[in-house]
Amino acid sequence: MTDLITVYSREADGEQRSAGQLVSLNKGFVIYHECDPANHWYEVVSGTVRTCRFMGDGHRQLTGFFYCNDVFGVDHGHYRESAEAVTGVVLRRFAAAPSSQAESTTEARGRILERALESARQCIFLFGHRTAANRVAAFLISIVDRSGGRSGVRIPMTRSDIADHLNLTLHTVSRTISEFAKRRLIVLDGPQNIRILDLEQLRLLAGDGGGDGDEHARESA
């Protein structure tokens, strides 16, 4: 219903193809389905995208969230997961496997694949955490890090999306975030807006030793 595509074609003859095609999509739009032929890969210009697959028992697994400058849809042959717009998004679309102009693109493809691999690793990393608090903390930190480290952060996806990404229920996610707020690690300004109060403690919970500071992570229940 609300799905709508607006294409700003920049492919007017002289225009360089490598710039990609700008595509604007409404919230909820399905960019591609699992098993579709992987004819394009995408770079996020603005907004948030989620990639997901459906398990045999019907439950959804979100394999990644993609923000500005992230790439997704880098698959060979056919897509291994579907992709949907979490918010309204603007994407840059590129043709995959450009067998015709294989020149400059071949080495560029390496960098694209590396970025995709990095995204996959980020997802794996989240799953390494044991408890709900650990996972949610790690997730929040991953968002903060991508937001340039500002303490006030917008969470574009729903609790349900987060839950399906961390392999928890939306109840547990909600409870855990509320718990963080109760402990004054964060402040909620509506469900989607979070202000980080104690990043240090949050990093301890996540237990990644991410970059700066103390490595003497010792949990105090």
Partner DNA sequence: CGACAGGTTGAGTGAGCTCAAGTCGGGTGG
Partner DNA sequence: CCACCCGACTTGAGCTCACTCAACCTGTCG
CA gap 102, 144 in Å, rounded: 37
Residue 76's CB is within 10 A of a number of other CB atoms, namely 10
Distance, CA of 87 to CA of 178 (rounded, Å): 24
Looking at residue 87, its amino acid is T
Least CB distance to a second copy at residue 45 (A): 23
Should residue 170 be labelled a site residue for a second copy when binding is judged by CB under 8 A? Answer: no
Phi, psi of 178 (to 5 degrees): -60, -40
113 counts as binding a second copy under rule CB under 8 A:
yes
Left if phi > 0, otherwise alpha if psi is -120 to 50, otherwise beta: which for 99? alpha
Does 46 interact with DNA (rule: CB under 7 A)? no
Among DNA, a second copy, none, partner that 92 touches (CB below 5 to 8 angstroms by kind) = none
Rounded to a whole number of angstroms, the minimum distance from the CB of residue 177 to DNA is 6
142 makes contact, choosing from a second copy, DNA, none, with CB < 5 to 8 Å by partner type, with none
The answer to whether residue 191 forms part of the interface with DNA (CB under 7 A) is yes
The binder of 30, among DNA, a second copy, none, by C-beta within 5 to 8 A per type, is: none
CA distance 165 to 51: 10
The single-letter code of the amino acid at 214 is D
Q: Does 154 bind a second copy (CB under 8 A)?
A: no
Helix (H) or strand (E) run with residue 51 in it: strand 49-54
List residues near a second copy by CB under 8 A: 53, 55-57, 59, 61, 63, 74, 76, 80, 102, 106-107, 109-110, 113-114, 116-117, 120-121, 123-125, 127-130, 134, 167, 204, 206-209, 217, 219
